Amino acid sequence: MPENRRGKLRLDMNESPVGCSPRVRAVLRRLDAQALSMYPEKGNAAQRMAPFFGLRADEMVLAGGIDDALRLLSDVFLERGRIALIVEPTFPMYRFYAGQREARICALRYDREMQFPLGDVLRVLRAVSGAPSVFFLANPNNPTGSLLPKKALAQILDAAAHTLVVVDEAYFEFSGVTVLPWIRRRRNLVVTRTFSKAAGLAGLRIGCIFAHREVARVLRFAQAPFPIGIAPLAAAETALRDRTFTRRAAAQILRGRKILEDGLCALGIRCFPSAASFVLADFGARGAEVTHRLARRGILIRDLSASLGRAGWARITAGTPAQMRRLLAELEKILGGNFSPRANRA
């Protein structure tokens, strides 16, 4: 993972460029010696947090971010001889944790226009023998930004008679599309959410798994006794209470995304329609150079040429309108000016 990113304009890891609620920072400052000396009370926190999602505490499992949630799901549902289904390009940790469990990975792919291969997915899920144990599906997907409509998700869940479908809604606050209420009637559905993106708390590591209470019970049983610290618990609960902040932060980032999309288009750079807080852009042959030259100007974006198998693709996290204008001004200089491999080396 990249480090030494402090002080830069960080558009490479989909963190929130807006930051977190001031109320969260106030709550963290108020954590006193007694609070810090106690083991965290996760059950009470879940009792207070679940209603914000319209659910009960027994349908919720708190985890150290979605990363930790994925590890927990893999621990419980995958092992050697089992199959994990993914559709790539997607969030790389699905492959990572499934691989750690020595599960076999069935990887389908988005097509060149980043269309989701729904027919192939349904075929794999309906296979008479060798159905996957788990299907990890980010919605919206990272890095494509694409969003599957609920109708397609219903078809997937109907087809997944032997498969646990993990719908990773890390970017829900930007897409507005969720299948969370379905967990009550669909035991093969798990939904993950995080406080790392719209709530701006990636540094505290907290997220949640939502599932039918029977599934949630099994997951909780496989957790460490105190999996989440008191600071992330207090911060997450406060972030839920300060919904206005999160809503405004998401709206600001969506305004930034529009400026970014329009600006890239004006520069002749293609980007795919996004339902999340980032865009996937195609810089063509100039991709690696663009990423390097932006980095030298203190702006980080994520070059994805290697993972997408196509040179020149980069993912850019949307920031505030002002941050996007700064990025676009630099891009204009790089793309419009003395743009050649030799100039880059100088």
Ligand X SMILES: *Cc1c(COP(=O)(O)O)cnc(C)c1O
Closest approach, Cβ 289 to ligand X, in A, equals: 26
Question: Do 139 and 148 contact (CB within 8 A), yes or no?
Answer: yes
Q: Which of 28, 107, 180, 202 binds ligand X (CB under 6 A)?
A: 202
Nearer to ligand X, 88 or 168 (CB): 168
Nearer to ligand X, 145 or 312 (CB): 145
- Residue in this structure with the two tokens 């087809």, named with its chain if needed: 159
Nearer to ligand X, 46 or 66 (CB): 66
Does 289 contact ligand X by CB under 6 A?
A: no
- Of 41-80, binders to ligand X (CB under 6 A) are 65-67
Q: 82 in the Ramachandran plot: left (φ > 0), alpha (ψ -120 to 50) or beta?
A: beta
Question: Do 240 and 47 contact (CB within 8 A), yes or no?
Answer: no
Nearer to ligand X, 257 or 293 (CB): 257
Closest approach, Cβ 196 to ligand X, in A, equals: 3
- Token readout for 102 is 């020595």
Which x/- pattern, by CB under 6 A, does the window 79-118 give for ligand X?
A: ------------x---------------------------
Q: How many CB atoms lie within 10 A of CB 227?
A: 16
Please give the helix or strand (H or E) that residue 278 lies within, else none.
Answer: strand 278-282
- Burial class, 345, CB count within 10 angstroms (exposed 0-12 / middle 13-18 / buried 19+): exposed
Does 142 contact ligand X by CB under 6 A?
A: yes
Number of residues that make up the chain: 346
| Strand bridging mode 207-211 / 189-194 | antiparallel
Closest approach, Cβ 207 to ligand X, in A, equals: 4
Closest approach, Cβ 123 to ligand X, in A, equals: 24
Does 14 contact ligand X by CB under 6 A?
A: yes
- Of 159-178, binders to ligand X (CB under 6 A) are 168, 170
- Burial class, 244, CB count within 10 angstroms (exposed 0-12 / middle 13-18 / buried 19+): exposed
Question: By Cβ distance, which residue is nearest to ligand X?
Answer: 65
Does 228 contact ligand X by CB under 6 A?
A: no
As a whole number of angstroms, the distance between CA 161 and CA 187 comes to 10
As a whole number of angstroms, the distance between CA 11 and CA 323 comes to 10
Does 207 contact ligand X by CB under 6 A?
A: yes
Residues that bind ligand X (CB under 6 A): 14, 65-67, 91, 138, 142, 168, 170, 194, 196, 202, 207
